[in-house]
Amino acid sequence: MQPFTTLTAVAAPLDMANIDTDKIIPARFLRKHRGDPGYADLAFHDIRFDADGAERPEFVLNQAPYRAAQVLVAGANFGCGSSREAAVYVLADRGIRSVIAPSFGDIHYANELQNGMLPVILPEDDCQALRRELHERPGAAVAIDLPAQTVTAPSGRSWRFEIDPAYKERLLKGLDDIGLVMQHIGAIEAFEARRHADMPWLA
């Protein structure tokens, strides 16, 4: 998993609340395999494209200044709905490293952390202020500093966010569940060797 320390990147204002996982990746695409050609283009498919497959020009990620965005600033309850981890895969494969919102669906929040993305919770008023700046300065960058736990707007205004210390440590080191276990592989192997020596009949 790619570590997350600091990120300065184009941010897109997503003026929508209650963006559920079916909006992030519609259920009919869940049979698609991550890594298939065009997988990243499935992100927000039904609100990015019309029925004929043409881009909707009003959708922010279809607008030139925001196409390369690595940060989304959304409304409340981002990632609500089903627990599908593909909703994180498709965002990550599209290049999104962080989502800033007033609140998240609990499972989606955990899935982002598990896959090296940083979900940042800021108060509603602060998210609105940040989105206003991004609308006023299309293509502007937001700076996110995980060690300092800060988000800095294009204007220089800064906010502090909270994150569980265990999750913070895992992101800084780039550790998913498997990586976390592998840190202790020496102790695990030593335990297994002792158990086999003491209780060979279990083998």
pLDDT value for 95: 96
Distance between terminal CA atoms of the chain? 34
pLDDT value for 180: 61
Any idea what the CATH number is for the domain that residue 149 is in?
3.20.19.10
Tell me if 41 is assigned to some domain.
yes
Tell me if 197 is assigned to some domain.
no
pLDDT value for 133: 97
pLDDT value for 125: 97
Tell me if 144 is assigned to some domain.
yes
Tell me if 149 is assigned to some domain.
yes
- Cα–Cα dist 92/8, whole Å: 16
203 residues of the chain, pLDDT tens digit each: 889 999 999 999 999 999 999 999 999 999 999 988 999 999 999 999 999 999 999 999 999 999 999 999 999 999 999 999 999 999 999 999 999 999 999 999 999 999 999 999 999 999 999 999 999 999 999 999 999 999 999 999 999 999 999 999 999 998 776 666 566 677 667 677 687 777 888 76
Q: How far, in whole angstroms, is CA 76 from its chain's centroid?
A: 15
Tell me if 203 is assigned to some domain.
no
The token duo for 16 is 């929508």
Tell me if 200 is assigned to some domain.
no
pLDDT value for 171: 96
Tell me the DSSP string of 87-153.
HHHHHHHHT--EEEES-B-HHHHHHHHHTT-EEEE--HHHHHHHHHHHHHSTT-EEEEETTTTEEE-
Tell me if 180 is assigned to some domain.
no
pLDDT value for 200: 80
pLDDT value for 179: 64
Tell me if 26 is assigned to some domain.
yes
pLDDT value for 195: 73
- Which residue range forms the structural domain that includes residue 161? 6-173
* Domain total of the chain: 1
* Cross-strand pairs, 143: 8, 152
